[in-house]
Amino acid sequence: MSELAIHGGAPVRDTPFPAWPVWGEPEEQALLETLHSGQWGWSDREDSRVARFEAAFARSHHAEYGRCVFNGTVALEVALRALDIGYGDEVIVPPYTFIATATACLSVGALPVFVDIDPDTYTIAPDQIEAAITPRTRAIIPVHIGGCPSDMDAILQLAHRHDLHVIEDACQAHAAAWNGRRVGSLGDLGCFSFQSSKNINAGEGGIVITRNEGLAELCWSVRNCGRVRDGAWYQHERLGSNFRMTEWQGAILLVQVERMEELAARRERSGDYLGDQLSEIAGIARQRRDARVTQHGYHLFIMRYDAEAFDGLPRERFLDALRAEGIPCSPGYVPLYRERAIQTATSRLRRFVDGAETAYELPDCPATERACAEEGIWLTQNILLGAERDMDDIVEAIAKIKAHAGELATA
Ligand SMILES: Cc1ncc(COP(=O)(O)O)c(C=O)c1O
């Protein structure tokens, strides 16, 4: 076995993985056409670029309606406002996610209540949700983390039993499907992001999709300053804001959505292949894929690292060695309830809601703690656009580090 690259040996790989974003002449053409059209802002016309993209994206995700907004964070906020969730309400969210899942709740005055993740799938643990429900609970936001759908059967049943809304945070889960149905269309509303790193990319952008016409109208209104379709320009019926998407974004997205299925299929082939190959290496487990996950979105390839199987080599040191071998990787999130922004905003809101000062209480989320501090390792979606031999490099690099783990752990 060759010497580790972190110690000066030759790396397994010295070529980059596929670049992101993927784009070409169609995107260039679409932008030029938008420029020459002189119509650069949002309009309510059915043939606008944004409206055509809304229809195409909603259709591809088994929903009837799509309402574009300018990013995924406000997509969540629009969804909450459309459901009239606000001051003093509670919303159940997992703590292993991007901060927007929780800050969207706080932005509308609702309290995020954290429920731990399943230790194998890293998605919200449905068997722990019930204990977190109170008379103030209005909704659950399952996050399809890394593109892996949450257990939507259990979540929808629970929501039905307790009369709660379900907003899917599908910001990382374009094209993912649960039991054959695309995510975002399983709950009341589904939110996606088109920010630069996402599997469909317009630099920034977001959409809320739904099968419910009434909710679609409310989303239309909230993202358009609370206007109503048949109302006057200066008639504002509810609290909303200018969350509208531009035609530039719509133009790019109309082309990007055409690329979605092919790129999603490539990622899934690579992700599944990589997962199979890694199953040969003790101490590396892939994010568990439930049999009902009929399509994995693979925004991330998430691995679970067991330092014990690597002679006690801490994860951070393993990551340094893997990067040195030419494999870009990262450790992922901090538990959201440990972020100062969440603690401060939650404490302030609680003070107003409860009328009393209470210290911020850390929830008991051992699986999240383990995922964040010791276990979780991420590879980004562009890596999965590579061929089998690119995946083989990842496996080879991990096997190489494992063979030298003892010496690296004590170095
Ligand atoms: C799970 C999740 N939710 C929400 C968002 C927010 O999306 P945006 O960055 O477009 O505001 C992101 C984006 O990183 C995300 O990963």
Express each pLDDT in 273-305 by its tens digit: 999 999 999 999 999 999 999 999 999 999 999
Instruction: Give residue 229's pLDDT.
Output: 93
Q: Is 66 in the pocket of ligand 1 (CB under 6 A)?
A: no
> Looking at the predicted structure, is the pLDDT value of residue 63 above 70?
yes
Is residue 250 predicted with pLDDT exceeding 80? yes
Ligand 1 mutation target, pool 98, 99, 144, 192, most atoms within 8 A of CB: 98
Q: What is the dihedral of CA 358, 359, 365, 366, to 10 degrees?
A: -150
* DSSP code for 69: E
- The finding on whether 381 has its CB within 6 A of some atom of ligand 1 is no
Residue type, 83: L
Q: Name the residue of 171, 199, 207 to mutate for ligand 1: max ligand atoms within 8 A of Cβ.
A: 171
Beta bridge partners of 20: none
Ligand 1 mean position, distance from CA 141 (Å): 13
Strand partners, 93: 114
Q: Is residue 405 part of a domain?
A: no
Has residue 316 been placed in a domain? no
Both structure tokens of 408: 């690296």
Determine which helix (DSSP H) or strand (DSSP E) holds 1, and give its type and residue range. Answer: none
Q: Which residue has the higher pLDDT, 27 or 43?
A: 27
How many domains, the chain? 1
Per-residue pLDDT for 109 more than 60?
yes
Sign of the four-CA dihedral 24, 27, 33, 38: negative
Angstrom distance (rounded) from CA 69 to CA 42? 10
Ligand 1 contact, 137 CB (< 6 A)? no
347 in any annotated domain: no
Range(s) of the domain holding residue 178: 25-257
Instruction: Tell me the mean pLDDT in the region 214-238.
Output: 97
The verdict on residue 338 lying in a domain is no
Residue 67: inside a domain, yes or no? Answer: yes
How confident is the model at residue 410, as a pLDDT?
87
* Cross-strand pairs, 181: 178
- Is 45 contained in some domain? yes
Beta bridge partners of 377: 303
Q: Is 172 in the pocket of ligand 1 (CB under 6 A)?
A: yes
* pLDDT confidence bin for 358, thresholds 50/70/90: confident
Residue with tokens 């494999």: 327
Amino acid of residue 329:
C
Expressed in angstroms, the distance from the first to the final Cα of the chain is 18
- pLDDT of 1 strictly over 70: no
Q: Is residue 120 part of a domain?
A: yes
Is pTM beyond 0.75? Reply is yes
100 in a structural domain: yes
pLDDT, tens digit (0-9, with 9 covering 90-100), for 255-269: 999 999 999 999 999
Dist. CA 9 → ligand 1 center (Å): 38
Q: What is the CA radius of gyration of the chain?
A: 22
pLDDT class of 2 with cuts at 50, 70, 90: low
The rounded Å distance from CA 98 to ligand 1 centre is 6
Look up the CATH number of the domain holding residue 55.
Answer: 3.40.640.10
